[in-house]
A and B are shown apart, each in its own frame.
Chain A
Amino acid sequence: MKIKVRKLLFTVFAIINIFSFAISPVLAGFDIVSIANPVQMMDDVFEDLGVDKSELQNTIKTVNVSRRKKNPPQVSLTFDPANPVPGEKVAVTAMPTYFINTTEDLYFTWYIRSKRCDSPTAADKAMCDLNNDGSVNIKDYKIKATRILVNNDYLWDQTPSPYSSHSDNDGYSSAHGGDDQRGKENPHCYIHDVNSGDEFELGGCDDTKDGHLFPQTNNGDTTGDGTFGASEEEFWHTNPNNNDTAGTGNTDEANVAGLGENIFTFTYTEGDMVGVAVEGSSVEPTQYQDASYKTMWAFSKNKCEIDPDKGSTGGYPKTTTTGPTTYTNTKADHSTTPGVPPVPYAATDYTTTVTITVVEDIVPGTQVNDNADIRTKTTTLTTVTYVGTDPDLLLTNPVLNETTLSSTCPSSLAESGGSLDGYVCVGSDAISDPNNPINMTEMTVQDLNDCLISNLVAPSEGGGATEKLDLSLKYTPENPINDPSTNKNGDELSFTASAANATNISYLNYTWEVFASNEPNPDSWGAALTKTDLDGATQTSGLGIDTLKFNLNFTSPKKYLKVMVTAKDTVTGGEREGHANVVVPIFSSDERIKVYTAGAYFKSTDLSSPPYIKLADEISSTPIQERCLFEDPADPTIKTPQSTCEVAKDELIALEIDNADDFKDILWTIDGKTQICPPDPTDSTINKFDGCVDSTTGMATSRTYFPILKEPGSQYNVTLSALNKTTGEKLDLARVFKVYVPEVQIIPVAQVGGTTDTCLGLFLGNYQDIKGTLYKDRSDTKFQALTGSNIEIAPKFYGTTTPKVIVADDYSYQWNVDGKVITIDNFREYGYSIDLNNYGKIILPPKDNGEVYLISFSTTFATTTANKQVLNKYWNTTYNEFYEKKLADNIEIEMVSTGPLVLKDSPTRKIFATVSSGIPSYIAFLFRIALSGSAIILALKIIFHILPKTKTDEF
């Protein structure tokens, strides 16, 4: 039987073991390993929740020390004006932060120290010692500021004194930590340790007078005690018959306490310094078991450190020594009672000395805010000394017997009866005493007054103005281009500086410097360029010189220019300076946009389809003429592009740049809009603008076309941007076009094989340019021509091109020579010639010496029919919108003798020059006409004499 039972038990045990090995701990739901290892279980929980243990540890570490990272209450001051002049009213505004109170509930204790009250002389002392306590200190500074605050220009020093009666009721009872903390009976005041981040409690917080930093009178009255009698009214210079002399909405005593007084206004004198201490409740609550928050103060410069002499850690470790106590003719043994010294017993020739040292210290790792476990170590040193004469006993002298006693703490205050008196707790047996805060300093609230002097602020230190001049710099154009060639067509760079906080902009002294480098941010920019290096530079230093301009015509330019400006501003008590600089990338190129006249033409193979467009000179197979070039009068071979290109309405303009193969990603814009040559409206696959669109890529090329559709007086801004294929540099070019009303002028044309000197404008005089070079001034309407040479004249158009080759059908010029209208059809009848291949010039045969040609010219300016079709088809210009203008001019050409083939310049003529210079011929003329007239009259006389008389009354 027993064997069966054993076998059964063994079998059950085996089965259990087998299954326990087979079953996974997880499947079992009964994790034996985890139970055995709690840490592992914890790790598993973290893993299941996705918690990264190392991050959690970091978080906890941060939380552990977060208490020390908080911001204590602070205040900042701003002065308005920032830089006052003596006699000027200054308003100082205090902006407190990290208080739980609103501004209206905070106490602002202002104080002001004038220059003469900082170490005053004997004479000044009487004026500065406002509380007559024999010294000039922070108390007087507070009184000075408070009187300014609460007086509000009340005439307090009248005769008789207004303080003989007192009818108002303007007392105020202050509350610790702000007016909204009223009712909290146990205030706790703290000071923040900037280094450790801890806050330490101050003593004397609950006192009505000493628990604040309010200004106080010299007569025993306490500010904020609820009573504000006549003596206080008189001391503070308030109105005894007005509850609120300052008009702030608070009573006089509240105003003295500084309740809600965040703005302090005073009349500035040189050297004045101002400060404020703001009392309120920190955002940090206390650890006390009540509703209290930490009452703290913020200072102007937020500077106030714990007095090291007064401790900062509650005096821990604290050491108390009792003794040495000497007992003669005694011996002592070990003490067995904690805190109780051994009792010496009588023994002749022995002296016992007992010293008890008690050290209280914080148990490491147990402090939480103001609470910690305190450990006390009591050491009793008992010294027994043989004072007899036995030499053997003297050898063992003295006998030191040091005993450190320990004891066991009660487990709770309840067990100890609520007090730890007599108990000495050690190590983990220690318990905390919430009524015995650790972070205590021996500083009191009044000790904070020692911080106030170091928190004085002068207006130049205030937040309203910075010590530096706030200078900014701008430049234009945005992408300037340098012209290294002799044309000197580089952009004019213009820089403008502006100072945001200058006292007087006109009196800022500017200094400009320009540096050059191939790097945008080199270690050194080197020496500044001199004014002579800068082409056309304006003044570079002086009062009010807030702009700098110069032309980018460097022959060997660097890639970057740095322009730096320094401005100096004279303010009260000194000077302040500001700097600004800007780095300008320079692109150097002698590329420019070339302008040509475009024209439309019909292909002979397809006259019905819209016309094609190409350069007008290409159509007429004449040398291509670039437009808008200014010819140097001193050297006509030098031609520079005009800054503004004159064009006329309805013209077609072609634009092109050279070296097209060097560039890619070309973009043309007209007035900011992308310019493209539109495809044929009838077939979008064809583009009839020659060379405008890349046939392969369909992209813009180095040539484009655009019509002039705006009215005279308007302007077009054309830009080109492209990328250099080799260097990757960006090319930005611009050209300005202005639409003008075209005009015409008749001018002599150089003869083939001859010279222009056969016909010149009448010499009027000389004019000289600024360099003193003389230029002849010739008439545009009166000319002289040599007899013996043909006269060739042609029209020259302004505001549009003068076509060199004119198709006969398009010839619209009308000449009038000496009253005869000359056209393309009848010029041969008069012996004249018209050259259609040379500007349509008319060639006149010479007359005799002294004879005159009177010539006038007129034509109608209008674009060609083909151009009109283009404008209509591509830009929807209707036929009644095309521009037409009649142009006319007339001249007079006087024939002069050939002489030595050099025209003699006529002398300067006066108003009646024609008559005076031609008197001989005119007199002859008069003679002739008088004779003719006389002959006529004589003939009429004869006729009337011959004819029969008729009776006049018949009429």
Chain B
Amino acid sequence: MYHYHQKIPKTKQGFFSINQELLISFAVAIFCFFSSSFFPAQNTAQIITKNIFFLVLIPSLYIKLILNKNLSDFGWNLKNNALSLRWSIGVTVFTLLLFYLMLNFTQFKSDYVLENYLKNSFWLFLVYELIIINFRIFIFSYFFQGFLLSIFQKQFGQLAIAIQAGLFFALFFFTKNISWQTAPLILLSITGGFLAYKTKSFFYSYFMSIFVIIILDAYVIYLSK
């Protein structure tokens, strides 16, 4: 348990000195974030590779080599199994309920489009969900709900959930990708962040997200038939 409300004795060290690790870590995160967006890549394989590199590998190397800390402290763990499982189930159900309400009371149903080849081929659907979506969810989950959340929760506590979700939202906002198509990921950044905060692990939020996305896509295909 982290004691993040300790008294800090007044020293000559300034703001930067006090929050050195936080600031540097945040700077590293931003750098990795922009690198993953702007590093040139010509095809899907290169895009996935660069995302893994900058959003997973570099942060992990930073934690191990620069901060000399364990990855488990940054969400790479599966501890507190019983409690985590209960939280996972609860958040999963809540997230599914939210999607259900969105489907029935908003434009989400008509504007969330899946490709026709996914609707018509079960095997392509499986490949899409278990490989493409899986990679994407893992990468984002580790970076935002593992690395970033762990950086901020020491200083900001529960506010870290909002901060990482806000950064995730900013990613889509500044790339003009805010739409019903990206709404599930944005919502999962909030509920997944909450789950990661409670379980101290990004794996539960990752599993929850992949499960919810598969259910959502399958249901949308069912509705379109």
Q: Which of A285-323 contact B (CB under 8 A)?
A: none
* Interface status of B61 (Cβ within 8 A of chain A): yes
Q: Does A345 contact B (CB under 8 A)?
A: no
Closest chain A residue, CB of each to CB of B20: A950
Evaluate whether A922 and B45 lie within 8 angstroms (CB atoms) in the complex, with A932-B39, A933-B53 already known: yes
A886 and B110 form a contact (CB under 8 A): yes
- On chain A, the residues within 8 Å of B111 by CB distance are 886
CB proximity to B under 8 Å, residues A921-955: 921-922, 925-926, 929, 932-933, 936-937, 940-941, 943-944, 947-948, 950, 954-955
Answer yes or no: B49 CB below 8 A from chain A CBs: yes
Task: Determine if A921 and B42 form an interchain contact, defined as CB atoms under 8 angstroms apart.
Answer: yes
Chain A contributes a number of interface residues (CB within 8 A of B) equal to 37
Contact flags (1/0) for A826-863 with B, using CB distance below 8 Å?
A: 00000000000000000000000011100000100000
Kindly count the residue-residue contacts between A and B in the assembled complex, taking CB atoms under 8 Å apart.
78
B46–A950 CB distance below 8 A: no
Pair B20/A947 contact, Cβ less than 8 Å: yes
B58 and A955: CB pair below 8 A?
A: no
Quick check: is B117 within 8 A (CB to CB) of the other chain? yes
Known contacts A932-B39, A943-B24; A821/B176 CB under 8 A = yes
Would you give the shortest CB distance from A598 to chain B, in whole angstroms?
Answer: 25
Which A residues touch B175, using CB under 8 A?
Answer: 819
Contacts of A948 in B (CB 8 A): 17
Closest CB of chain A to B7's CB: distance in Å? 11
Distance in angstroms between the alpha carbons of A918 and B44 in the assembled complex: 12
A846 to chain B, nearest CB (A): 15
Question: Quick one: which of B31, B41, B49, B113 contacts A888, CB cutoff 8 A?
Answer: B113
Contact between chains at A886 and B13 (CB < 8 Å): no
A890 and B115 in contact (CB under 8 A), knowing A941-B65, A944-B66? yes
Residues of B within 8 A of A950 (CB): 13, 17-18, 20-21
CB of B175 to closest CB in A, whole Å? 7
How far does the alpha carbon of A617 sit from the alpha carbon of B49 in the complex, in Å? 50
Q: A886-B110, A932-B35 are in contact. Are A851 and B66 (CB under 8 A)?
A: no
Partner pick for B45 among A743, A889, A918, A944, CB 8 A cutoff:
A918
Q: Is B104 an interface position by the 8 A CB rule?
A: no
Least CB separation from A820: chain B residue: B176
Q: Is there a chain A Cβ closer than 8 Å to B79's Cβ?
A: no
Q: Are A886 and B21 in contact (CB under 8 A)?
A: no
Residues of chain B within 8 A (CB-CB) of A884 are 110
Asked if B117 contacts A851 (CB within 8 A), the reply is no
Contact of A851 among B13, B42, B58, B116 (CB under 8 A): B42
Instruction: Write out the residue numbers on chain A whose beta carbons fall within 8 Å of the beta carbon of B65.
Output: 937, 941
Chain B stretch 105-161: residues in CB contact (< 8 A) with chain A: 110-111, 113, 115-117, 154
Q: Is B57 an interface residue (CB 8 A)?
A: yes
Q: Least Cβ distance of A890 to chain B in Å? A: 7
Residues of B within 8 A of A850 (CB): 42
A921: chain B residues within 8 A (beta carbon) = 42
- Whether B18 pairs with A954 at a CB distance below 8 angstroms is yes
B8 in contact with A954 (CB, 8 Å): yes
For residue B94, CB closer than 8 A to chain A, the reply is no
Q: Which residues of A contact B39 (CB under 8 A)?
A: 929, 932
Whether, in the assembled complex, A726 has its beta carbon less than 8 Å from a beta carbon of chain B, the answer is no
Per the bound structure, the CA–CA distance linking A359 and B44 in Å amounts to 133
Closest to A744 in B: B116
Chain B residues closer than 8 Å to A918, beta-carbon distance: 43, 45
Q: Would you call B183 an interface residue if the criterion is a C-beta within 8 Å of the partner chain's C-beta atoms? A: no
B49 and A925 within 8 A (CB): yes
Interchain CA distance A389-B65 in the complex, whole Å: 187
User: Does the CB pair A915–B45 fall under 8 Å?
Assistant: yes
CB of A608 closer than 8 Å to a CB of B: no
Give, as a whole number of angstroms, the nearest-CB distance from A792 to chain B.
22
Asked if B62 CB lies within 8 Å of chain A CBs, one says yes
Q: Does A914 contact B (CB under 8 A)?
A: yes
- Selected from A743, A852, A888, A940, the residue in CB contact (under 8 A) with B66 is A940
Whether A852 pairs with B117 at a CB distance below 8 angstroms is no
Question: Can you identify 29 A-B contacts, CB atoms within 8 angstroms?
Answer: A741-B224, A743-B116, A819-B175, A850-B42, A851-B42, A852-B42, A885-B110, A886-B110, A888-B113, A889-B115, A914-B43, A914-B44, A914-B45, A921-B42, A922-B45, A925-B46, A926-B49, A929-B39, A933-B54, A933-B58, A937-B61, A937-B62, A940-B24, A940-B28, A940-B62, A944-B66, A947-B20, A948-B17, A950-B21
Nearest first, the 9 closest Cβ-Cβ pairs linking A and B are A888-B113, A940-B66, A925-B46, A886-B111, A914-B45, A929-B53, A950-B20, A886-B110, A937-B61
- In addition to A933-B57, A950-B17, 5 A-B residue pairs with Cβ atoms within 8 Å of each other are A884-B110, A925-B42, A947-B20, A947-B24, A950-B18
